[in-house]
Chains A and B, each alone.
Chain A
Amino acid sequence: MDNIKVYYKILNEYRKHDLNLIMLLQKIQEVFGFVSEDSVYWFSRQLDIPASKFYGILTFYPKFRLKPTGKNILTVCCGAACHIKGSDKIVQKVRETLSLNEGEDTTPNLQFTVQEATCIGACSVAPLVILNNTVHANMDTDKTVKLLKGFVIEDEYIGY
């Protein structure tokens, strides 16, 4: 299996640089976009660390994902400054536009994942939306929907 090869690579790196569990899981997520049950058990066996330790960390830090992500990731900052400038309305509108059901954050065709972030430290240009590492400042619901629509049609940023 291809995955196993990659796992070995990560394992080597882990042993060579004396990494800790968080770093190991970050590496796995970096490569696969999420941490699968499969990988947790594989590493658990190899390192002789109980899988519960892995899940302890995975479920503690909000950045770890246990399900695959969409091709495009849209993050809405929901810190205090963004909140009073209407980030909750943006999240609601985005979820509506992508017709996401409650409890889901990724569209069935794996095109989009919607995330909420805690303060990302750019409060002065709130509210913020991050689409695939590009930060869009001073957003509102209309601008965000336009941004999304641009992506759905062209699959790339066409501006708003």
Chain B
Amino acid sequence: MFKQYINKSGIEAEIGQRCSYQKVGCRGFCSKDVLVDVVIDGKKTTYQLVKPIMVERIVSEHIMNGQPVAEWTVTPDYEAFHSKQHKIVLGPCGEISPEKIEDYLAIKGYKAAKKCMTRMTQRDVITVVKNSGLRGRGGSGFLTGLKWEICLSQQEQPHYIICNVGEVNRALAEGNPHAIIEGLLIGGYAIGAEKGYIYIRERYHLSVERLQNAILQAKEKGFIGKNLFNSGFNFDIDFSFGTESFICGEETALMESIEGKRATPRFRPPFPAEQGLWGKPTIINNAETLSNIPLIIGKGAPWFSSIGTEHSKGTKVFTLTGKIKNNGLVEIPMGMSLREIIYGIGGGIEGNRKLKAVQVGGPSGGIIPESMIDMGLDYESLHKVGTIVGSGGMVVFDEDDCIVSITRFFIEFLQRESCGKCTPCRIGTKRMLEILSRITEGKGELEDLSTLERLSSVMTTSSLCGLGKMAPNPFITSLNHFKNEYLAHIREKKCPAGVCTSLITFTIIEELCKGCGMCRRVCPAKAISGAPKKLHIIDADLCVKCGACFKACKFKSISKG
């Protein structure tokens, strides 16, 4: 719809004023989309929440007559959302056209690749990346430069480089695909690989389309192919279409998948940098890591290491989601506090409710309680509280969310995604899920908690890969900070947040009921009875706890608990 709409506005604008229109990538402020910029004589006006029916008025009033439509322009939220961020890799997204290589060239695109290949040796490139302090943006946060160095020193030929485009990186691929390709190119040069793979899910249609288009354009301009920049270096990029598996985020599992096998992780050592794809030295970098590379080469290591904290340099992109007002993609300097992200950039909690906790780092990340949100976000401090930077997922929970049920959800996900190769993970996640389900159904016992703790420690120490090792994270962290909630489920058989359906009952408050019959009409189980204008009653045996009556009652006379 977005494309169709832009086309429509573009054509209309062209007829009216001979001005040009431009398609841009995501700016990250997704909760107020569609955003449209109108630039006249260098003066930019941004509209939010634009819908097709609004186009005509914007075109006729603003573009034809120069009068911006004031009530549709962006609110101060837009300013707050953007001004507090530090956009390095996301900077060009939403400003340049992702489908034109000329736009990327205009912002010094491919200059860094040229500089590497014409004026720098492989060691030079690695030294710069090492000095910048860039760490992997996908998982454990290993130093990128160091990883490259290990790979370069391997005698075995050929070497491979793989770019993993995950969920968070999708916006990069759609907004500025050339940066990923240039990063891959530089990485390939540095480690001596002549073949690069882009591993991306088939379902990300737009990302795939734009990356393919970008590769074609780069080939035309001679940035990919034989004897690049007369340096004698050859480089080619291939796609490998991933399947939807969480385990494919694990390096060795990803390589198994490219080789066409079941994606089960391998034992290590040997590490992928020594023996990776088809047994050859391989580097896997995440698209965000690679997008940083051209900037580091272009602007220098000192520039990059001036951003962030002592041990975590640069910026990190997070997907800010959940019960938050301004959700979207945010790029922040490492070390920014969670409070600033949630209240500064995110604009606070939806409906001004109370913040309960934040989960950082994807499904296997830990849950951070409200009391700790003043901590800065970087690799070290997140590690201290039992979570990871991971791929940069950030889910905000408010007081209406039940921590036990959320933990159960994450464990359920991890259980489904466990590849089944090693026992601690395969059976551990299954048992954890069973016990947690029992607790949410009100059948939990006190000793369940110690069983879960024991299981967690076995999984953390003996699982083969990161998935199993980190799977208990949501449980461990939530038990640390929200033990009361677990105890309420087990001892009192109550869900304080009123989420776990087995533990809640709906009752009608006598004083407030007006007898309107609304609840009786919406009840799918016919569990509510009562004559008009008389008190209604819910039959607890028939009630299926769907909450329809709770939603329908206009007098707030139904209590949940």
Contact = CB atoms under 8 A, between A and B. Distances in A.
Interface of A: 19-23, 26, 56-57, 60-64, 80-81, 83-85, 117-126, 133
Given A80-B393, A81-B321, 5 more contacts: A20-B260, A23-B260, A81-B319, A120-B204, A124-B321
A118 B413 CA distance: 8
A57 B321 contact: no
A144 B237 CA distance: 40
25 contacts: A20-B261, A21-B260, A21-B261, A22-B257, A26-B202, A26-B243, A57-B261, A61-B245, A62-B243, A80-B395, A84-B323, A84-B401, A85-B322, A117-B203, A118-B244, A121-B166, A121-B204, A123-B167, A123-B327, A124-B28, A124-B319, A124-B327, A124-B328, A125-B30, A125-B33
B322 A84 contact: yes
A60 B410 contact: no
Given A26-B241, A62-B244, A84-B322, A124 B409 contact: no
A80 B409 contact: yes
A22 B319 CA distance: 30
Nearest to B327: A124
Given A56-B262, A80-B393, A80-B395, A121 B323 contact: no
B263 interface: yes
Contact of B409 (A83, A120, A123): A83
A80 B260 contact: no
B345 interface: no
Given A57-B262, A84-B397, A119-B167, A124 B329 contact: yes
B31 interface: yes
Contacts of B482: none
A122 B257 CA distance: 24
Contact of B203 (A23, A81, A84, A120): A120
B181 interface: no
A123 B321 CA distance: 6
A122 to B, nearest CB: 8
A64 B262 CA distance: 12
Interface string B348-376: 00000000000100110000000000000
A125 B34 CA distance: 12
B170 interface: yes
Contacts of A56: 262
B21 interface: no
A22 B406 CA distance: 34
Contacts of A23: 241, 260
Interface of B: 28, 30-31, 33, 166-168, 170, 202-205, 241, 243-246, 257, 259-263, 319-323, 327-329, 359, 362-363, 393, 395, 397, 401, 406, 409-410, 413, 417, 419
A20 B417 CA distance: 23
Contacts of B204: 120-121
A22 B401 CA distance: 40
B244 A61 contact: yes
- Considering the complex of A and B, which 3 residue pairs feature the smallest CB-CB distances, nearest first? A20-B260, A124-B30, A121-B167
A61 B395 CA distance: 26
A60 B244 contact: no
Contact of A126 (B202, B243, B321): B321
B472 to A, nearest CB: 17
Given A80-B393, A117-B244, A125-B31, A60 B263 contact: yes
A6 to B, nearest CB: 21
A22 B166 CA distance: 19
A74 B239 CA distance: 27
Given A21-B261, A80-B410, A118 B319 contact: no
A61 B167 contact: no
B310 to A, nearest CB: 31
Nearest to B169: A121
Contact of A123 (B241, B246, B261, B319): B319
Nearest to A24: B260
A57 B262 CA distance: 5
B325 to A, nearest CB: 12
Given A123-B327, A124-B320, A81 B261 contact: no
B205 A133 contact: yes
Nearest to A96: B524
B259 A81 contact: no
B163 to A, nearest CB: 16
A124 B244 contact: no
A60 B256 CA distance: 12
B359 A80 contact: yes
A61 B260 contact: no
A121 B170 contact: yes
Contacts of A64: 243
A133 B263 CA distance: 26
Contacts of B262: 56-57, 60
